[in-house]
Structure 1
Amino acid sequence: MADTKYTEEHEWIRVEGDIGTIGITQYAQEQLGDVVFVDVPQAGRKVAKGEACAVVESVKAASDIYAPVTGEVVEANAALADSPGDVNAEPMGKGWFFKIKLSDKGELSGLMDEAAYTDFVKSLG
């Protein structure tokens, strides 16, 4: 079964083998409001943990999306160019942003599991 982890910047990563699928959480899309544009990284791009590598724009704001782990982008969700609303409709499903081949699975240990993330969001008030 895929393991999903979360960051304090409200990204999620679902890891299967050495490939992680990355998107933003339900909480993040609710804070953004209606998503109108998404810019995802190109396949082949190498990203470092914590690096801004995608952008999501809504009617309220533009936000950077940060890589939760170091690795190489292996696939971008090109469908978001035509359907940015997928981020609002299914942020944990078809609204994913990109997939990355992990350089170091050990970096996952610094991320939150679902219970910890739920508590973190509650602490934001």
Structure 2
Amino acid sequence: MSLPTTLSYTEEHEWLEDRGDVVRVGVTPYAAESLGDIVYVQLPDVGDTVKAGESCGELESTKSVSDLYAPATGEVVAVNEAVADEPGLVNAEPFGAGWLLELRVEQPGTVLTAQQYAELTGTS
């Protein structure tokens, strides 16, 4: 799957989509494939404050449990309830219906361009 150049990426394999006053966050196909079939998603609550680089949730797969890291410091303004009900959406549509949360950013974290992320992961 090619990486959308309109998104930003983190070294922890999250993507961010600028949506005006908030950013939408999900995990990349690279992360979803590495995890395997995702069977459980634990997300922060709306209203929680998360800090860039710190764990704010978990993704559990048939292989392992992986932390979800906040890509920025800010307030959680929305979570995708659909992935709680159907965690496989993260694998099936990581850039679409498998998004995880939306943040009102107070302080951005370190992000990469699509090209930088592709170089990091050895993908194209």
TM-score (norm 2): 0.91
Alignment counterpart, residue 77 of structure 1, candidates 58, 80, 101: 80
- Judge conservation of contact 1:29–1:91 (CA < 8 Å) in 2: yes
Q: Aligned with 2:95: secondary structure? A: coil
Greater helix proportion: 1
In structure 2, the partner of 1:117 is 117
Q: Distance in 2 between matches of 1:54 and 1:12?
A: 15
Q: Aligned with 1:65: secondary structure? A: strand
> 1:39 and 2:39 equivalent?
no
Name the Cα RMSD after superposition: 1.5
> 1:5 and 2:8 equivalent?
yes
Shift of 1:92: 1.1
- Judge conservation of contact 1:21–1:100 (CA < 8 Å) in 2: yes
| Cα deviation 1:50-91 (Å, max 9, x = unaligned) | 110011000000000000100000001111121100000001
Unaligned runs of 5+ residues in structure 1 are none
Amino acid at match of 2:122: K
In structure 2, the partner of 1:96 is 99
Q: Aligned with 2:122: secondary structure? A: helix
Q: Aligned with 2:112: secondary structure? A: coil
Q: What fraction of aligned residue pairs are identical, expressed as a percent?
A: 45
Q: Aligned with 1:28: secondary structure? A: helix
Q: Distance in 1 between matches of 2:84 and 2:75?
A: 21
What does residue range 28-67 of structure 1 map to in structure 2 within 5 Å? 28-67=31-70
Q: Aligned with 1:103: secondary structure? A: strand
> 1:23 and 2:26 equivalent?
yes
Q: Distance in 1 between matches of 2:34 and 2:102?
A: 23
Q: Aligned with 2:39: secondary structure? A: strand
Unaligned runs of 5+ residues in structure 2 are none
| Cα deviation 1:15-73 (Å, max 9, x = unaligned) | 12120111100000000010000011110000111110011000000000000100000
